[in-house]
Amino acid sequence: MEIKDNQTFDFLKTRVSELEKENEDLRTLSRQLQLDKTKPNFIADLSIKKIAEDHNYRLLFKNITNGFALHEIICDNNNNPVNYRYLDANPAFEKLTGLPVNQIIGKTVLEVLPDLEPEWIKTYGKVALTGKPYRFESFAEPLNRYYEVLAFTPGQNLFAVLFNDITERRLLEKKMLKTMVQTEEIEREKFASNLHDEIGPILSSLNLYITTLAESDDKNKKAYILPQMQGLIREAITTVRDLGNDLSPHALLNNSLGKAIKSHLELCRELVPVIYRTNLKNRRFHHNIELVFYRVMKELLNNTIKHAQATKVTINLSFEGCLLKMKYTDNGIGFNKDMIMKNSTGMGMLNIFSRAKTINAEYLIDTQPDNGFNFEIWTHILD
């Protein structure tokens, strides 16, 4: 949940406290007026004044997009919170929970949601009884939704909540995490397969040559075997270097991010034309940041070459102030990003999003069928 500004929170908290005091004053006044029933006009005047004072509060109450509700905590004989009662709620509350406000006001939460987890009551009880505000995220099983909540107390045995539904964000995070785990597993399987298929045969051949060499005194045979062994050793070294480059790109070990990307683009120049611009020069960044930007670029370029049918790619890599940013564009066929995110064909993009998350980078994707592809990723560099 993102509270638009602290004044909203302060206003609501203060106003709820004022309303509670006014309600107490009205109850006191009502008791006094029971002794003198000759003042009906006074009650009417007071109601008009109260409506006017409440106008701004109600306007904000009805129009904020955050759910808002006021509750009374209910405790047992040992002052342990065991339930709470709905006193008031705004329209956004009904939208975000699916609970009709006009049907729950005055009822307890266990009447409305009998299966609610006890932790919710315990948490809200602590807020109401200690007066300390509390911000948290939690899953409400009866509603099957994740919420981010700010709870505070406007008066004795009361608590109010400002909240928002973060279910979509949480599900996307879970999907991204699952994708990251799957990607890492695929990388491990690929590495293991390469070791088995590439290094294994070379070592087996070397072992055979060494055994033959040890058992033979034939000089001609030895003269033949030694060059073969040297060739296999060189091949093994090259293969190990290539495998290591997959794990940690060799281009980044000896070059800056800007030069590493340029070097990779040189290898792909026959596959698709690329316009590459950067102001990085020899600027270096943390290895993890460089690695993510480099691999994101490779993944995007790979997707373009395989699927986009593009005739031009533009990459702008820049560093200004404390912001490292890369903008990638192709003029290919594009795609429906919502459909890609919902099925396995979106693994490449989900992999990119997962990588971005590891360095707290933000990203923006803009694409439609037959309308090209645009992607931006940026992160703040802290010295």
Task: Give the pLDDT of residue 52.
Answer: 44
CA distance 206 to 228: 9
With a CB cutoff of 8 Å and minimum separation 6, the contacts of 372 are: 310, 329, 330, 331, 332, 334
pLDDT at 305 over 80: yes
Q: Taking residues 254-271, report their average pLDDT.
A: 85
With 70 as the cut, is the pLDDT of residue 350 above it?
Answer: yes
Percent of the chain, pLDDT > 70?
70
Q: Which residues pair with 160 in a beta bridge?
A: 70, 152
Task: Say which range, 33-47, 135-149, 221-235, 257-271, has the weakest mean pLDDT.
Answer: 33-47
Domain boundaries, the chain: 6-165, 170-247, 250-380
* Interior angle at CA 27, CA 21 and CA 33, nearest 5: 135
Domains 6-165 and 250-380 share a fold: no
CATH number of 6-165, picked from 3.30.450.40, 3.10.450.240, 3.30.450.20, 1.50.10.100:
3.30.450.20
Element of type H or E holding 84:
strand 81-89
Which is nearest to 253 in space by CA: 290, 278, 283? 290
- For residue 332, how far is the Cα from the chain centroid? 28
Q: If DSSP codes are grouped into helix, strand and coil, which group holds residue 22?
A: helix
How far apart CA 219 and CA 206 sit, in angstroms, is: 18
Residue 72, Ramachandran bin (φ over 0: left; ψ between -120 and 50: alpha; else beta) = beta
| 270/333: higher pLDDT | 333
Query: For residue 53, is pLDDT > 70?
Result: no
Q: How far apart are CA 23 and CA 88, in angstroms?
A: 14
The model's pTM: 0.45
Percentage of residues of the chain with pLDDT beyond 90: 32
Burial (CB < 10 A; 0-12, 13-18, 19+), residue 340, is middle
**pLDDT score, position 344:** 46
Confidence of residue 193 (pLDDT cuts 50, 70, 90): low
Of residues 64, 54, 69, the one with CA closest to residue 7: 64
Asked if the 250-380 domain carries CATH number 3.30.565.10, the reply is: yes
The neighbouring-strand residues paired with 146 are 139
Instruction: Give CA–CA dist 346/336, Å, rounded.
Output: 10
* CA separation for the pair 331, 212 (Å, rounded): 59
pLDDT at 249: 66
Rounded CA-CA distance 299/4 in Å is 36
Q: Which helix (H) or strand (E) holds 37?
A: none
pLDDT at 221 over 70: yes
Q: Is 108 helix (H, G, I), strand (E, B) or coil?
A: strand
- Mean pLDDT to the nearest integer, 304-332: 93
Contact 141/120 with Cβ under 8 angstroms?
no
